[in-house]
Amino acid sequence: MLLLACEGPGAPSDGARASPDAPLPAPSAVDTVTFHGDRARLGWNAREEALDPQAVRSARFGLLWNSPPLDAVTVRGRRYEPLIYATPLHLDAVPVTDGPFAGRLFEAVFVATSNGYVYAVNARERAPRGAPAAPGTILWRRALGAPDVVPTLDGGVPLGVLSTPFLDASAQDPRLYAVSMDAAAGWQAWALDPRSGAVLPGWPVGLNARSIAPVDRNGPALFPDARIVSQRGALNLSPDGATLYVPFGAYADGGIGFLVAVDTRSPRVAWAFAGAPSMQLQANAGIWGPGGVAVGARGELFATTGNSPEGPGDHVWGESLLRWSPHLELQGTYTPFNHCQLDRADIDLGGSSPVLLDLDPSRTSTPRLVAFGGKQGTIYLVDRERLPGGLLRRPPCSRDAASDGSLLGPSVQPQYGSRGPLNVFGPYTDDVGNLNFAKMRSTPAALRDALGDGYLYVTGSTKTAERSAENVPPSLVRLRVRTLPGAPAWLEVDRRASAVALLNPGSPVLTSNGPNNAVAWVLDENAQRTDSLLAPGIQHPVLYAFDANTLELLWRSAKNELDLAGKYGTVTVANGVVYVGTGRLQAFGLRF
């Protein structure tokens, strides 16, 4: 049984009025304040009544509205249109306190672009005063510096905001946190007032070698040049709201992964953790998966890392799941048995971010779990209370899958000839799995059915052969979390979507009405990893909806119905509307 905590009371009625200095109303159960909806990255909205499989399959479902195109920028004489990599965020009721809409109350969606802008967009005005604002109207915008072009980013896209921000929707002190790269100042963490877009006092906080080196718990590696590190992983916030967690990967040799903790009450870099103490040889232990860091109820942190230089080394944490305290003290590690092979072939474990699962302890001896995948297409389930690795170095490399420290099912896995981690998107290989050959760069989503059984939904790219970049079904797979009283949990394949092959799917999102009428939503980039997003004729992304019970395809967006977007995108669904970030905000739902 997968246990999910209920959130606060519903939003105010449509008759509510906003005053110019109004606090945010009480949180709504359908607010989406972070990537995959919550700190644990579950990816499940269980309070969606309108979008059941029958309605989504019908002719009623389709495009509702588009926002205006978002702001372009000019860098060194060239104009760049915006791209949204970040997940849209949603609040049921936002009292706008500045600008032409001051004093009015809106259901709002927040988006951030590669051009370094953050926006609040009207989804619905709750109590129109005079002429109502149309859905898609921009309520406020804020530029977070001036982006620079990075040639290694998807064909030369400006590097502004790539990661999903975090909305702290506390009533008296609401904040929208975002991280952006400025051409002169480098990486900066910002805190904005979500009611107006105003920058809060003491912000931005510079994220650079000068601010990070004195508090790095795994040095002496220095934070690299801003243009070779990637801040693609979603932000997360401690349960008490006091600490913002910012993960970094790397684009180029000489880069290194970092996790940075920002004190939100006295804005400054409080702690940091380098993925390795040296920047030797190549990108080292980057945290670049879309979900970034998952945060548990007690403030404990979990993240997966990318490749490191092959071989032993103290405090080198590539190809690993790491657990930290809220102050970034390393508390536990897990590294797959074949990490040397993964390092050698650039098959990052860190391509998939973790999701935290809590099970009924009467059903299993391992009720507190963490699940994640990787570019190899393998899905891992680990007891997050008893991580099997040490705190000094990774374990010796092995070719014995049965020796792996994750929770293994009882069956022999054909790719190993023994028990071992579950390979879902094949064919299995230790030799090829990067760039267009990678099989998974997404975060699983979790769901509990009416019987209390837990499931994971995972997206990836099955290949026709070991050294082929051609994709075939399945690209969406449902895994069952199997349990027996007194025994560790394990994963098994429950169902595969057999009709659709996706090129580079983002992380799935699940909606349901309680345990019933579940739908799985997947946004596919529809282009290869190495394709330039600036190339003429680049394919537009496609949004898919699947029946989460049968994995039958219910609906897909029409060709070019979506604008061009960043890679590995994820949608947000609230109040019967699916929000997609592209070069604008696009909304889908029931039209009549």
pLDDT in tens, 66-80: 999 999 999 999 999
**Residue 6 falls within a domain, yes or no?**
no
- pLDDT tens digit sequence for 360-370: 999 999 999 99
Angle in degrees, CA 475, 478, 484, rounded to 5: 150
Contacts of 59 (CB under 8 A, 6+ apart): none
Kindly state whether residue 452 falls inside one of the protein's structural domains: yes
Total tally of structural domains belonging to the chain: 1
Q: What pLDDT band is residue 54 in, cutting at 50, 70 and 90?
A: very high
Q: Is pLDDT at 340 greater than 80 in this prediction?
A: yes
Extended beta strands in 515-584, E state: 516-524, 542-547, 553-556, 572-574, 577-581
pLDDT at 153: 85
Query: Would you list the DSSP string of 178-225?
Result: EEEEETTTEEEEEEE-TTT-PBPTT--EEESHHHHGGGBTT-SPPP--
Evaluate whether residue 500 is within a structural domain.
yes
**H helix count then E strand count, the chain:** 3, 39
Residue 270: inside a domain, yes or no?
yes
Whether the link from the prior residue into 204 is cis, omega within 30° of 0, is yes
DSSP string spanning 331-386?
Answer: EEEE--TTHHHHHHTT--GGGS--EEEEB-TTT-S--EEEEE--TTSEEEEEETTS
In a domain, 166, yes or no: yes
pLDDT band at 13 (very low <50, low <70, confident <90, very high): very low
The identity of residue 8, as a single letter, is G
pLDDT, averaged across the chain: 92
Structure tokens, 525: 């980039």
Residues 79-124: pLDDT tens digits? 999 999 999 999 999 999 999 999 999 999 999 999 999 999 999 9
CB 76 within 8 A of CB 149: yes
293 in Cβ contact with 302 (< 8 Å): yes
Residue 15 pLDDT more than 70? no
pLDDT at 311 > cutoff 80 = no
Structural domain for 145, as ranges: 35-393+402-590
Are residues 81 and 564 in contact, defined by beta-carbon separation less than 8 angstroms? yes
pLDDT value at position 254?
A: 60
- Are the beta carbons of 106 and 94 closer than 8 angstroms? yes
Q: What is the CATH number of the domain that holds 424?
A: 2.130.10.10
Q: Over the stretch 156-211, which tens digit does the pLDDT of each residue have?
A: 999 999 999 999 998 788 999 999 999 999 999 999 999 999 999 999 999 999 99
Residue 559's pLDDT is what?
94
pLDDT of 244: 98
Domain for residue 370, yes or no?
yes
What is the C-alpha to C-alpha distance for residues 378 and 425, in angstroms, rounded to an integer? 7
Residues in the chain: 592
Compute the average pLDDT of residues 563-586.
Answer: 96
Q: Quick one: pLDDT band at residue 432, thresholds 50, 70, 90?
A: very high
Q: Name the band, by pLDDT with cuts 50, 70 and 90, for residue 33.
A: very high
Check if the beta carbon of residue 278 is closer than 8 Å to that of residue 317: no
Mean pLDDT over residues 439-444, rounded? 96
d(CA 316, CA 590): 51
Residue 19 has what pLDDT? Answer: 45
The pLDDT value given to residue 252: 60
What is the per-residue pLDDT for 7? Answer: 32
Residue 559 lies in a domain: yes
Whole-angstrom distance, CA of residue 178 vs CA of residue 237: 11
pLDDT digits (tens, 9 = 90+) for 126-158: 877 778 899 999 999 999 999 999 888 888 999
Strands 355-358 and 368-372: antiparallel
**For residue 220, is the peptide bond before it cis, meaning its omega torsion is within 30 degrees of 0?**
yes
Q: What span, in angstroms and rounded, lies between the C-alpha atoms of 305 and 394?
A: 12
Query: If you search the block for the tokens 């109820």, which residue do you land on?
Result: 297
> Nearest to residue 361, comparing CAs of 486, 240, 548?
486
Smallest CA-to-CA distance from 240 within 293, 328, 325, 170 is with 170
Q: pLDDT band for position 17 (50/70/90)?
A: very low
**Amino acid 21: pLDDT:** 61
pLDDT of residue 106: 95
Residue 29 domain-assigned? no
Return the biggest CA–CA distance within the chain.
Answer: 70
Distances from the Cα of 137 to the Cα of 12, 19, 171, 525, angstroms: 21, 20, 24, 26
pLDDT at residue 438 above 80? Answer: yes
Residues with Cβ within 8 Å of residue 552, at least 6 apart in sequence: 497, 499, 546
